[in-house]
Structure 1
């Protein structure tokens, strides 16, 4: 025989043998188990782990009849002291226990997810958290408060549990028994409201299978107006629960007030949660006599203030009836009589009678909660799997601090890092970012040197009057014609192709290390001229040659004059050299930092991380300083001391090629001066054809043009520029070659030894040093413990789903695919329950782990 259910977990009858149990019957029979599983996962804190756990939350304004509604649904009595009776969320789970001899029982525990910042509240400043002055704990804990079997004692116990929650600085046992102050007496409270939860697990005969949260009523001001943050705390708390994607919102609205003015209704609308709402109109007996009822008809009909799951109407006992001890059964009888006899419910509103009464509300809540749970089980299963993967990945980056093998762990990390550095310095595949960056930086360095290449202004005073009949020509001393590096054909052999002819590559620079400003090279493309370029004027050059020369023969050149002019062009090489080393310092340390973080990231909160990087940075700085201050600077001083080259062929070829370029440019400049003077004399402009004809036929003109009064200066300029080509390439080669043969080589071969020495691994205390280096800070330890606790909660939540899946593996739920597929293997421990044998024992062993006792969901 297969049993069927009534939707509340009660077995009504046996179906005939051979008939199939319907899905509704299976759902009815399984409500209890589903609610138990979801509530256990809720208690494990999985709702805060992006796990979409279905829940019912009850919200409403103060005096909206919310407390009476809670009492009616759960068949319990909540405190009704002065002020706001609900000062923290109440988690209420009711499950039917219809076993023979079963009795009513309630287990009360305190779920603490938040710590109070301080008992002496500072003035609000900065950006406090949403539940200020409460801050979220790394790991929530469940504190068993008490177990009671007397339903009449529950009101007092809830009052005591709230006091314990609002006074977290006091031992919770103080409030379990003995005299306690009234909850409205604020002088006895450390805080008036709390986001921590008082949990009630209630079981007994004929109870509905429900699970819901009762939240503090929304307030708009405090009694004395001195604590505005409390208003924000309560509103943020209500918003947080409503925002949960699977929260079914039970919105209580008093019929003695205007629904449009309800703060709770406004929050629901602002959060666009109307589709998840069930409206409950309370206090129908207080509907003002004679007031029009059309607005309430429109609300019940869904025409005004529509909600996704419509409105229900309940009528709860008056305060006098409560004081007289009215029973739940009698309250339901009177409620039914009210709707059957009173206007307008029995007549004008009769069409809505299926939504009258607490029993109807209990039934619909149970059905909708069950449907929501079943719908979300596959999603919950997938989210659990995702959370497992994310937690395991994060835990891999937070390994346990070692003790016995500390030396080996440090050595392995250093060897792995230095191996990466070696591959990067050698430009090995997948480690070639530095080689590409180095190639680009040295190319820019050479371009900076080329940008200072000396050049010549091609016209002088002696070029005036080339046309014999012309006076001083206007404009002859206009903008000088200069020779840039791309206008000449001087020989640069053996300039490397990577410098002159290699296409530009994308920058591969690493991010800057902390507090290090990124230096910039002034040129990223082809360089034509720097503001440091020496530009010689012909007449000034003539004067220098004449002044320095000691020869008495006219027009002769002294070698000392040539040396002076050559060396004058090299005086600013220190600027691109310094800039080059700054760029290399920034880029090289940035690349090393990327490699370092790739190896040491899992230990980034330890002294090892800090000390190892300090050693890397220090050693790299020492090597760079040696290259800059010793090799490059000394060679620069040598270049600036006296011109020299032993390569006669290279010298002659550069000098000859440069001279040809200058002579051709001078000839063109003198031609332009002549024809400008001629055109000014005759008063018209000559065509290019006419110019060419005169040049080809007038031998006297050609003689005038080719007789250059500055031939000595042009020859000197060719030597200056020819030598600059040789010296700049030599300086570039020496600087870069030294860095490759020394700096990069030492990083490849000596870095491991430097690190081991710097970290104290080569002395007699290497083991103690390594243990100290790997010791973690308290924040890292707390984070790992929190992750492990969260993972354990996922394991237990998964075990609940596995047990539920096994229970229905041959039932219609399994056939429909709800439990199809296997869950992740359970790794860690077996499921446990919230309660130990000692009701008041805190479920935290002191090491940060979350401990709960067995709860049988089968």
Structure 2
């Protein structure tokens, strides 16, 4: 048996002349065959099914050698094929269901036998397999002298997720956008089809397996194979070509399930019911309802579903099955009422068919003999006597031919709407697809062009010339903040004389109010001096900080930086340190190691602002480069090219700043390890300046203390101390020390001048080193090495660079999947447009015959 799918397009016989009347005002459509037999059925208004009354009349055409003449011909056959093609192209949506016939019935209603009778085939019956997935059968008419043939395909429109919750409308099944048709087998002998069909349904019921695994499986293997699912909404498709059969396509839906074997499969009950209901609701569908005459009509589950769907009854053709099991006598009147449309009425009335009984099936009765047996059955009473008025509705072929007529008419009236919907949807797809560009043919050139644009932009911003100075201004702002934070850590000195070195005089309690000035005079307490120590912390005013750049472009992108606490010395603390660390026994000698010890104490807090400066610079540079890369790759933001390039840039900047951080830490370590400077002039300048400030501050404080002591001895109370401070400062500047005598802490003041002077020199040097590292190393690295890093990382200079760049410029995973979906959908809908345009003339030809 050949496996590849072969599309059969054999021309049908044209031995019958046809008259088709389908105008909006006509009452019937007639098909006249060569033997003058005529079939008549009501004609619908355009865009709707023909909602005939229950007295519709269909006459049986003459049969020749047990086969039915092709009533509709080759043109109508192409209409049926068109609908199948459109469905496979994904044109069918919930908003536009394509015309079709859906077969509904209970599992015990003889639906499978009815399908066999209409199609002339045998379906699997073991273990109820035939009811577990929909079966779509399409009949085509071929040349008179050609043989019977059937192509079997699997249509996968739903995927099964074992991990999904079964609470959805279709349980664990998920509907895909476009159905996928998988060729399965070609069968040229009728007796082989039942076995092939069992294999196909077994493949459908084991989603995830390779369907071809089941093609050549033996019958025993198929019966023994476990089924992953009890039911699948995916279809087995049969395209049957045979001489002298009408063009017809219908879907056999599984019978409605009321309970499952195991509790874990209870979700399948709702799944099957929802699946059948969704097909019934499709407004363009014709419903064939099978009802067993051996059962109570009122208990039909399939009929109940149809009745619950608004408008579905008017689209329903009824078929009474198993008439050989119908109790004669008392129920004859009920059947008359049903056929007259007075009981259990449906829009298109009822037909009655008789299929082979179990004995005939066991004897492998042929399709031709089955139809002959059916004719003989309806030639008997009461069908030929009491019910003879309904003879035109007795027989499988009469039902089949009527369904073919009605389906064809519905296709014709639906074509304009299908065409409009396809055109509109194609335009929507093309609009959306415009946002998903294809990778360019010259992918390498596009990548190199974007990288070159990025390199030029980086160079301009690294150099900082206007108007590309935003990053430079931000870095300068960060450097100014860094400088300010370091200056706030300049060591302080409390210049107040320790209490034990001042004359203790018992005086009444008094209060002094003070305002802090630049020299840091302490606020005297209202308590006696022996109850609370008073301190005057001396600090020089910080040097003027660079003003913040007002331009928004120059504003650093970091917030305020937390500052470590500065070191503040006391005079006695300085004296004790000098005493402990000076080895000389000569009075007045100061060991340089002691001074260096004090200097190193003032540098302890530099690490925190240094780390925050480096981190802020890192953020600023990274933000700028991200922006420049985004601008250079604006057309490729949703591609791997941009994603990978951004990662490479981030890694490059991180590495450069990591090196810079190590460089900064080494510079700080050198500063804290050993005080050293060869900047003699700079150190002398800062030392002399600090010495002058400290001496003046110390003298002012001593004068204030002497005045306080004198007033206290005289019992005076000074309420406003600010005046005293101002007067003391003025006197020191104009009159000198005014007989204060030698300062017992003069040596300590001189040492602190050396400490503060060196701190100024070291701060300036450290600041320059750290900021220069950013300018001279990091920005230089961006200019010289970043581009090559990108080329190496993106592999755009390799032998396969062109293919590599095509991969890079492809959309990201989700967008690429969507782009391909849209492309496939566009291709399908363009093909649908072509088929609709090609079929247009056929439809006009069929419809124009109404004018004849």
Aligning the two structures, in what range does the TM-score lie when normalised by the shorter sequence?
0.5 to 0.7
Shift of 1:456: 5.5
Whether the 8 Å contact between 1:489 and 1:657 is mirrored in structure 2 is no
Partner of 1:142: 182
1-side partners of 2:232 and 2:691: how far apart?
91
Instruction: Give matches, 1:391-790, under 5 Å.
Output: 394=436, 396-397=438-439, 415-423=452-460, 425-426=462-463, 438=475, 442=479, 445-446=482-483, 449-450=486-487, 452-455=489-492, 461-462=498-499, 468-470=507-509, 473=528, 477=532, 489-492=541-544, 495-498=545-548, 524-525=559-560, 527=562, 529-530=563-564, 532-545=565-578, 547=580, 563-581=596-614, 584=617, 588=621, 620=653, 623-630=656-663, 633-634=666-667, 637-638=670-671, 641-642=674-675, 644=677, 646-647=681-682, 651=686, 655=690, 691-692=719-720, 724=759, 727-753=762-788, 768=799, 770=801
Shift of 1:747: 1.8
Partner of 2:363: none
Whether the 8 Å contact between 1:59 and 1:238 is mirrored in structure 2 is no
1-side partners of 2:241 and 2:346: how far apart?
30
Partner of 1:516: none
Whether the 8 Å contact between 2:152 and 2:185 is mirrored in structure 1 is yes
1-side partners of 2:434 and 2:729: how far apart?
90
Shift of 1:250: 1.2
What are the Cα deviations for residues 534-564 of structure 1, in whole angstroms up to 9, with x where unaligned? 2434542443355557899999988765554
1-side partners of 2:771 and 2:466: how far apart?
22
Partner of 2:836: 804
TM-score (normalised: structure 1)? 0.58
2-side partners of 1:430 and 1:9: how far apart?
82
Partner of 2:375: none
Whether the 8 Å contact between 1:134 and 1:194 is mirrored in structure 2 is no
2-side partners of 1:298 and 1:760: how far apart?
66
Shift of 1:109: 2.2
Q: Does 1:249 align with 2:288?
A: no
Partner of 2:236: 198
What are the Cα deviations for residues 661-709 of structure 1, in whole angstroms up to 9, with x where unaligned? 977997999899999999xx99xxx9xxx82399579999999999898
Partner of 1:85: 129
Query: Alignment partner of 2:123: what SS?
Result: coil
1-side partners of 2:195 and 2:24: how far apart?
34
Whether the 8 Å contact between 1:53 and 1:380 is mirrored in structure 2 is no
Shift of 1:143: 1.1
1-side partners of 2:467 and 2:294: how far apart?
78
2-side partners of 1:802 and 1:451: how far apart?
80
2-side partners of 1:698 and 1:742: how far apart?
51
Shift of 1:24: 4.5
1:180 paired residue among 219, 227, 234: 219
- Change beyond 3 A, Cα 1:572–1:160: same
Q: Does 1:794 align with 2:826?
A: yes
Whether the 8 Å contact between 1:104 and 1:202 is mirrored in structure 2 is yes
Shift of 1:340: 4.0
- Change beyond 3 A, Cα 1:339–1:758: closer
TM-score (normalised: structure 2)? 0.58
Whether the 8 Å contact between 1:250 and 1:277 is mirrored in structure 2 is yes
1-side partners of 2:600 and 2:419: how far apart?
83
What are the Cα deviations for residues 140-180 of structure 1, in whole angstroms up to 9, with x where unaligned? 45316337797x9876664453245457867749758x973
2-side partners of 1:539 and 1:60: how far apart?
106
Whether the 8 Å contact between 1:544 and 1:561 is mirrored in structure 2 is yes
Query: Alignment partner of 2:152: what SS?
Result: strand
Structure 1 unaligned spans of 5+: 14-21, 118-123, 252-272, 325-334, 509-522, 813-858
- Change beyond 3 A, Cα 1:51–1:634: farther
2-side partners of 1:753 and 1:622: how far apart?
15
2-side partners of 1:46 and 1:657: how far apart?
93
- Change beyond 3 A, Cα 1:561–1:191: same
2-side partners of 1:37 and 1:153: how far apart?
28
Partner of 1:384: 426
Query: Alignment partner of 1:491: what SS?
Result: coil
- Change beyond 3 A, Cα 1:699–1:753: closer
What are the Cα deviations for residues 83-139 of structure 1, in whole angstroms up to 9, with x where unaligned? 34346643637589899999998653223568999xxxxxx7799999979999999
Whether the 8 Å contact between 1:105 and 1:149 is mirrored in structure 2 is yes
Whether the 8 Å contact between 2:20 and 2:30 is mirrored in structure 1 is no
2-side partners of 1:750 and 1:697: how far apart?
61
Whether the 8 Å contact between 1:441 and 1:580 is mirrored in structure 2 is yes
Whether the 8 Å contact between 1:549 and 1:561 is mirrored in structure 2 is yes
Whether the 8 Å contact between 1:605 and 1:776 is mirrored in structure 2 is yes
What are the Cα deviations for residues 455-489 of structure 1, in whole angstroms up to 9, with x where unaligned? 456877529968833597389658988789xxx74
Query: Alignment partner of 2:280: what SS?
Result: strand
Shift of 1:768: 3.5
1-side partners of 2:411 and 2:705: how far apart?
99
Query: Alignment partner of 1:768: what SS?
Result: coil
2:107 paired residue among 28, 50, 63: 63
Shift of 1:81: 1.4
Whether the 8 Å contact between 2:495 and 2:536 is mirrored in structure 1 is yes
Query: Alignment partner of 1:109: what SS?
Result: strand
Shift of 1:42: 2.9
Q: What is the CA RMSD across the aligned residues, in angstroms?
A: 7.2
